[in-house]
């Protein structure tokens, strides 16, 4: 254990320490120790004790230190064990605690990375083609997320999890099948017959969709796609200004996330509303069409 302590104990940088834990020479040292104490642990998991102890804030998170003190202290005891007997005892305990941590806190880390990776891709999607500098900055940030994920100690391919992650609940094909021309023809008919339920159900869908991809704007999105608000004004009274206000807010939200090339169509829809084309079923159909197009863009983004 002394050789590994000399090599690793003073390394406090997460990236550097992670790279050192992947070096064949250090893996070989770890394997020799494991063979001597006869404990069922992989060399990488054994070496992870240095990361858990030296880089607790990076790997565990500063908000979760207290609840994982037993794991951190056990990693420390492993590292500073002077006898094989003590080392075996602490490694056995570390294996148990490490597995508990991975199942609980590790999932939070993966979920957080997946969300951040997806949001960064979404931001890149929204950048105008000629804004090369911003695209490069976000691409570098996205690469850092992947690099961080690649350093996590796991039996899973975390990078592959990132690349395949999508919070979307429906595919582009499912949405185009459901929200077709017949659907909106029926919605208009029901709307004109004072049956507003199909319309309100679409409001719910849009609210759920945009919260899913923009969960930092939950209250803002709920205020735009508000079933209760629409149920109230449709059964009582509303005017063109109400519809224009809603439409502008909805179009602004979509414009903030959709591919830049779709902005021309969006502004065409907005202009129609401004010039008093304020029939709600038509407006909601246009908003759904933009949403379906966004879904297609997201799916294509994930393929590249």
At 63 the pLDDT is 80
Rounded-to-integer distance, Cα 241 and Cα 281, Å: 16
Give 23-68 pLDDT, tens digit per residue. Answer: 999 999 999 999 999 999 999 999 999 999 999 988 888 888 998 9
**Cβ atoms < 10 Å from Cβ of 219:** 8
At 188 the pLDDT is 97
Confidence of residue 278 (pLDDT cuts 50, 70, 90): confident
Domain boundaries, the chain: 2-164, 172-303
Give 177-220 pLDDT, tens digit per residue. Answer: 999 999 999 999 999 999 999 999 999 999 999 999 998 899 99
**pLDDT greater than 80 at residue 121:** yes
Rounded-to-integer distance, Cα 231 and Cα 229, Å: 5
Closest CA relative to residue 240, chosen from 184, 279, 285: 279
How much is the average pLDDT of 233-261? Answer: 92
DSSP result, 179-240: SSHHHHHHHHHHHHTT--HHHHHHHHHHHHHHHHH-TTSHHHHHHHS-HHHHHHHHHS---H
Q: Which two tokens stand for residue 160?
A: 């592959």
At 301 the pLDDT is 83
Q: Which two tokens stand for residue 22?
A: 């992947």
Confidence of residue 73 (pLDDT cuts 50, 70, 90): very high
How much is the average pLDDT of 282-287? Answer: 97
Instruction: Please tell me the pTM assigned to this model.
Output: 0.68
Confidence of residue 236 (pLDDT cuts 50, 70, 90): confident
Closest CA relative to residue 73, chosen from 110, 27, 37, 60: 60
Mean predicted lDDT score pLDDT of the chain: 91
């Amino acid at each position: 254990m002394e050789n590994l302590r000399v090599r690793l104990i003073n390394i406090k940088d997460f990236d550097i320490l992670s790279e050192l834990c992947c070096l064949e020479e250090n893996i070989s040292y770890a394997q020799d120790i494991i063979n001597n104490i006869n404990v069922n642990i992989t060399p990488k998991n054994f070496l992870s004790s240095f990361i858990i102890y030296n880089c607790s804030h990076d790997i565990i998170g500063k908000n979760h230190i207290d609840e994982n003190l037993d794991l951190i202290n056990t990693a420390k005891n492993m590292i500073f064990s002077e006898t094989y007997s003590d080392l075996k005892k602490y490694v056995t305990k570390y294996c148990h605690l490490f597995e508990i941590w991975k199942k609980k806190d590790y999932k939070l880390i993966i979920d957080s990375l997946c969300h951040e990776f997806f949001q960064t891709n979404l931001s890149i999607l929204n950048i105008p083609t000629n804004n090369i500098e911003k695209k490069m900055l976000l691409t570098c940030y996205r690469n850092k997320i992947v690099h961080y994920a690649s350093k996590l100690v796991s039996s899973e391919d975390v990078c592959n999890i990132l690349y395949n992650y999508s919070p979307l609940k429906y595919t582009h094909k499912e949405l185009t099948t459901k929200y077709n021309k017949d659907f909106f023809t029926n919605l208009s008919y029901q709307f004109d017959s004072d049956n507003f339920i199909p319309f309100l159900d679409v409001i719910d869908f849009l609210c759920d969709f945009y919260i899913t991809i923009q969960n930092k704007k939950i209250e803002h999105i709920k205020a735009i796609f508000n079933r209760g608000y629409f149920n109230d004004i449709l059964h009582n009274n509303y005017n063109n200004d109400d519809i224009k206000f809603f439409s502008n807010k909805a179009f602004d939200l979509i414009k903030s996330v959709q591919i830049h090339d779709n902005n021309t169509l969006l502004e065409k829809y907005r202009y129609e509303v401004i010039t008093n084309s304020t029939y709600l079923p038509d407006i909601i159909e246009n908003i759904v069409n933009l949403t379906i197009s966004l879904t297609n863009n997201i799916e294509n983004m994930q393929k590249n």
